[in-house]
């Protein structure tokens, strides 16, 4: 708990956000009342299986959702302004100055027809001198900046290209960086370097970081807070150390048990049975109940509400009913 | 017992460029190991360390420029002789399965090529195979794009197993999957290996997945094996500084001093290839190339290992 520290101003506030995708045959609810807030300069990890709504949440921050997405209800504010109520001009300003993204595939993110130097200078917004490009390349650890600035994205290795896209993301000194699986396509040893770089640059600029990842160990290492997503909601949200050592939500626990690395050598890991749900509309029960080992009767019939306990927000009937903590 | 696969000082050199300006890359150098039936060898290292080349050599897809590969005690003669006895499961099932074939056809294809069997019989084998990997037999009528990533990887495993191979190469087979699906697939591989007793080479840069699946681990750097140890030794101590660097990088051990510095582009011609990045390097490392030597039953190529 950080109650004694002066409360940092939230830079991103998401409250009860509902997003649906329309396809010809059906409606799919990707976010079913997701809530999350990110304070200035905070590092938040976002975890969950594919289909849990992580990426939809990340893309909604700058309204980058595809055209068949529909904002049903709830609100999302960035730097105090509601993203969904914004006109195009101010949305452009937010995308240019306040938020930026680092995606999974760095070579695909960069423009293949443009030299790296020009891509960076186009973000720098007026300050397009060579020295500014050079300094932002140096900042991301590319000492050979002259050659890199002249290269096209396909001439770079994956790690170098990811460094460049971090340089692009941070060039305009944004207030929030959203990194969606920034290291999934990279090698294990380069992963640590790229995350070290991203985290230290964000800390240096006072930029908040939202890190989406499958890699629980990386989240535990770099983020001070973790939000676990399931079925389009943030089901548990709290300080990383606490959530990892004693998860309150059965899904958080199952996710941590399923990751190899902590079991005894030769021991077994427990996969989560079943598959994540695809929602057609508002769910009137706990979406994790069919896969949950600890489900109660009410879990199958009632939508769980948000509980605040011990510095955490949890959406679980067990916690609501004050039941004892989950076994290790 | 003859090992399922054995490599004896295998080297692979890739050449490119025109004849007057030939460029060579030594992708593998003096690599030796063997894998017995029912055993899994984990192969770890960074990209460019020669992991995938090693996998291709084991499958007979790349002909070594030096050394020998023997499969079931006999050297690779032609691919026809090993057909159906070798298989591979690759990282991206959406690319390794034919998008225009029903997955049932994909699974039946190795059977159709190898054995004379009636289509009725093949259908039965495919159905039981899909069941063994935990899929509904009715999924045989679906196309790969109609399946989830985990289901597709199960199909890829079913196809690899359908001819009862002696040896399977898993090249980054779980790297593209979600945490929970990854756990399911890892458990499936372990169960199937207990039942079918195939030998396996599990190539991955995910040290935690390798720890779960392999009893022995080989670590490659710059084309050579720098450590070949039991999982117990590798994950408890890590004999080679490179192994410890990999573990620190993936947060399996908390040892900031073990971290390696970034990859340099210059090729080391003399001494140990790791010298410019190694936190423990001393003058001898720059002069003399360390041999792979036994140390308490494991193998390590480092001047420092074992107390020096």
Structure ipTM: 0.75
- Please check whether residue B206 touches A, CB under 8 A: yes
Instruction: Return the pLDDT at B150.
Output: 85
Q: Report d(CA A135, CA B152) in Å as an integer.
A: 45
Q: How far apart are CA A11 and CA A80, in angstroms?
A: 7
Q: Is B85 on the interface with A (CB under 8 A)?
A: no
Chain B residues with CB-CB distance to A261 below 8 A: 207-208, 211-212, 252
Q: Is the dihedral of CA A189, A41, A246, A29 positive or negative?
A: negative
Residues A196-224 pLDDT 10s: 999 999 999 999 999 998 888 889 989 99
Question: Is residue B72 scored above 90 in pLDDT?
Answer: no
pLDDT at A161: 93
Angle between helices B179-196 and B149-161 (to 10 degrees): 10
CB count within 10 Å of CB B181 equals 25
Share of chain A above pLDDT 70, in %: 95
> How do residues B226-241 score in pLDDT, each as one tens digit?
999 999 999 988 899 9
What are the residues facing B299 on neighbouring strands? Answer: B228, B294
CB A45 within 8 A of CB A211: yes
Rounded to an integer, what distance in angstroms lies between the CA atom of residue B28 and that of residue B40? 21
Contact flag A261-B205 (C-beta cutoff 8 Å): no
From residue A276, how far is each of A49, A77, B231, B236 by CA, in Å? 8, 28, 33, 35
Q: Of A123, A97, A96, whose CA–CA distance to A110 is shortest? A: A123
Nearest-by-CA chain B residue for A254:
B180
Instruction: Looking at the complex, report in whole angstroms how far the Cα of residue A228 sits from the nearest Cα belonging to chain B.
Output: 13
Is residue A6 over pLDDT 60? no
Confidence band for A126, pLDDT divided at 50, 70 and 90: low
The β-bridge partners of A23 are: none
pLDDT at A2: 44
User: Average of pLDDT values for B243-263?
Assistant: 74
DSSP A279: B
Question: Given the DSSP bridges, would you call strands B86-89 and A10-22 parallel, antiparallel or unpaired?
Answer: unpaired
The mean per-residue pLDDT over the stretch B259-284 comes to 77
CB of B285 closer than 8 Å to CB of B278? yes
Q: How confident is the model at residue B34 (pLDDT cuts 50, 70, 90)?
A: very high
CB neighbours of residue B80 within 10 Å = 6
Instruction: Give CA–CA dist B262/B268, Å, rounded.
Output: 15
**What pLDDT, on the 0 to 100 scale, is given for residue B266?**
57
What is chain A's mean pLDDT, rounded? 89
Q: Which one of A132-146, A252-266, B68-82 scores highest in mean pLDDT? A: A132-146
B254-276 burial, b at 16+ Cβ within 10 Å, e below that, comes to eeeebbbeebeeeebeebbbbbb
Candidates A49, A218, A220; nearest CB to B180: A49
CB contact under 8 Å between B187 and A217, yes or no, is: no
The stretch A61-87 carries a mean pLDDT of 93
- B251–A50 CB contact, under 8 Å: no
Of B149, B178, B250, the CB nearest to A188: B250
- Comparing A189-193, A212-216, B85-89, the range with the smallest average pLDDT is A189-193
Picking from A4-8, B155-159, B267-271, which range would have the lowest pLDDT averaged per residue? A4-8
Non-local CB neighbours of A244 within 8 Å, separated by 6+ positions: A216, A220, A226, A256
pLDDT recorded at residue A277? 87
Q: What is the pLDDT of residue B256?
A: 65
- Cα torsion angle, B193, B196, B199, B203, sign: negative
> Rounded to an integer, what distance in angstroms lies between the CA atom of residue A261 and that of residue B183?
11
Decide if A218 and B182 are in contact by the 8 Å CB cutoff: no
Q: How does the average pLDDT of chain B come out, rounded?
A: 87
Say which range, A31-40, A262-271, B36-45, has the weakest mean pLDDT. A262-271
Name, in order, each residue with C-beta under 8 angstroms of A284's C-beta and a sequence gap of 6 or more.
A301, A302, A303
Chain A closest-CA separation from residue B209 CA (Å): 6
* Closest by Cβ to B208, choosing from A189, A254, A261: A261
Residues with Cβ within 8 Å of residue A155, at least 6 apart in sequence: none
CB contact under 8 A, A188 and B251: no
Q: What is the pLDDT of residue A290?
A: 92
* CB spacing of A263 vs B260 below 8 angstroms: no
Per-residue pLDDT band at A125 (split at 50, 70, 90)? low
Q: Return the pLDDT at A3.
A: 46
> B7-16, B25-34, B79-88, B131-140: which has the minimum mean pLDDT?
B79-88
Asked if B125 is an interface residue toward chain A (Cβ–Cβ < 8 A), one would say: no
d(CA B183, CA A254): 11
Rg of the Cα trace of chain A?
21
Is B40 strand, coil or helix?
strand
- A58: number of Cβ within 10 Å: 20
The confidence band for B265, taking pLDDT boundaries of 50, 70 and 90, is low
Measure CB to CB from residue B232 to each of A190, A265, A272 and give the nearest one: A265
Chain A: nearest CA to B175, how far in angstroms?
A: 9
Average pLDDT over residues B258-287: 78
Q: Which of A188, A189, A258 sits opposite B180 (nearest CB)?
A: A258
What is the tens place of the pLDDT at every residue in B165-212? 999 999 988 887 888 888 889 999 999 999 999 999 999 988 889 999
**Does the distance separating the beta carbons of A275 and B208 come in below 8 Å?**
no
pLDDT at B45 over 50: yes
Task: State the sign of the Cα–Cα–Cα–Cα dihedral A154, A156, A159, A164.
Answer: negative
Shortest distance between the Cα of A10 and any Cα of chain B, in A, equals 30
Under 8 Å CB-to-CB from A6, ≥6 apart: which residues?
none
- The 10s digit of each residue's pLDDT in B116-167 is 778 888 999 999 999 989 898 889 999 998 888 888 999 999 999 999 999 9
- Checking if the pLDDT of A187 tops 70, the result is no
Judged by CB atoms closer than 8 Å, whether chains meet at A270 and B250 is answered as no
Torsion angles phi and psi, residue A179, rounded to 5: -110, 110
CA distance A161 to A144: 13
- In this prediction, residue A1 carries a pLDDT of 43
Among A221, A258, A263, the residue with its CB nearest the CB of B179 is A258
């Amino acid at each position: 708990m950080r109650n004694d520290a002066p409360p940092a101003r939230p830079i991103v506030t998401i409250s009860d956000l509902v997003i649906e995708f329309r396809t010809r045959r059906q409606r799919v609810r990707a976010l079913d009342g997701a809530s999350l807030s990110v304070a200035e300069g905070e590092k938040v990890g976002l975890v969950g299986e594919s289909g849990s709504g992580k990426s939809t949440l990340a893309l909604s921050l700058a309204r980058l959702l595809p055209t068949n997405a529909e904002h049903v209800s709830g609100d999302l504010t960035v730097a105090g302004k509601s993203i969904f109520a914004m006109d195009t001009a101010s949305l452009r300003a937010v995308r240019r100055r306040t938020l930026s993204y680092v995606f999974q595939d760095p070579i695909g993110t960069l423009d293949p027809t443009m030299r790296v130097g020009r891509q960076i200078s186009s973000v720098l917004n007026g300050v397009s001198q060579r020295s500014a490009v050079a300094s932002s390349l140096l900042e991301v650890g590319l000492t050979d900046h002259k050659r890199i600035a002249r290269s096209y994205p396909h001439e770079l290795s994956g790690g170098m290209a990811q460094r460049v896209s971090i340089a692009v993301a941070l060039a305009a000194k944004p207030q929030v960086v959203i990194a969606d699986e920034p290291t999934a396509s990279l090698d294990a040893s380069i992963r640590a370097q790229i995350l070290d770089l991203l985290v230290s640059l964000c800390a240096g600029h006072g930029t908040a970081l939202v890190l989406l990842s499958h890699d629980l160990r990386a989240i535990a290492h770099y983020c001070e807070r973790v939000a676990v997503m399931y079925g389009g909601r943030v089901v548990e949200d709290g300080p990383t150390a606490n959530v990892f050592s004693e998860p309150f939500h059965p899904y958080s626990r199952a996710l941590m048990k399923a990751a190899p690395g902590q079991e005894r050598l030769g021991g077994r890991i427990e996969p989560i049975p079943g598959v994540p749900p695809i929602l057609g509309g508002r769910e009137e029960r706990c979406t994790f109940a069919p896969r949950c080992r600890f489900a109660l009767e009410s879990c199958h019939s009632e939508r769980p509400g948000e509980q605040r306990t011990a510095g955490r927000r949890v959406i679980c009937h067990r916690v609501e009913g004050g039941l004892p903590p989950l076994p290790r | 017992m003859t090992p399922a696969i054995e490599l004896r000082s295998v080297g692979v050199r890739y050449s490119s460029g025109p004849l007057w300006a030939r460029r060579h890359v030594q992708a593998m150098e003096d690599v030796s190991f063997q894998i017995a039936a029912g055993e899994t060898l984990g192969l770890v290292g960074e990209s460019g360390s020669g992991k995938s080349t090693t996998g291709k050599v084991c499958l007979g897809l790349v002909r070594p420029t030096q050394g020998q590969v023997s499969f079931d005690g006999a050297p690779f003669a032609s691919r026809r002789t090993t057909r159906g006895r070798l298989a591979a499961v690759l990282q991206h099932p959406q690319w390794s399965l034919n998008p225009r074939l029903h997955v049932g056809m994909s699974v039946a294809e190795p059977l159709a090529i190898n054995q004379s069997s009636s289509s009725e019989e093949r259908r039965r084998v495919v159905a039981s195979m899909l069941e063994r990997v935990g899929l509904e037999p009715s999924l045989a009528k679906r196309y790969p794009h109609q399946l989830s990533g985990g289901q597709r990887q199960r199909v890829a495993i079913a196809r690899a197993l359908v001819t009862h191979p002696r040896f399977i190469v898993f090249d980054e087979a779980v790297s593209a999957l979600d945490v929970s699906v990854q756990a399911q697939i890892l458990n499936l591989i372990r169960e199937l290996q207990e039942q079918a007793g195939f030998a396996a080479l599990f190539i991955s840069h995910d040290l935690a997945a390798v720890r779960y699946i392999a009893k022995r681990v080989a670590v490659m750097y710059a084309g050579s094996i720098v450590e070949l140890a039991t999982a117990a030794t590798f994950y408890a101590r890590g004999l080679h500084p490179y192994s410890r660097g990999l573990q620190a990088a993936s947060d399996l051990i908390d040892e900031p001093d073990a971290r390696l510095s970034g990859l340099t582009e210059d090729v080391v011609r003399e001494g140990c290839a790791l010298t410019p990045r190694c936190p423990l390097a001393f003058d001898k490392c720059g002069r003399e190339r360390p041999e792979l030597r036994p140390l308490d039953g494991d193998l390590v190529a480092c001047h420092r290992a074992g107390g020096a």
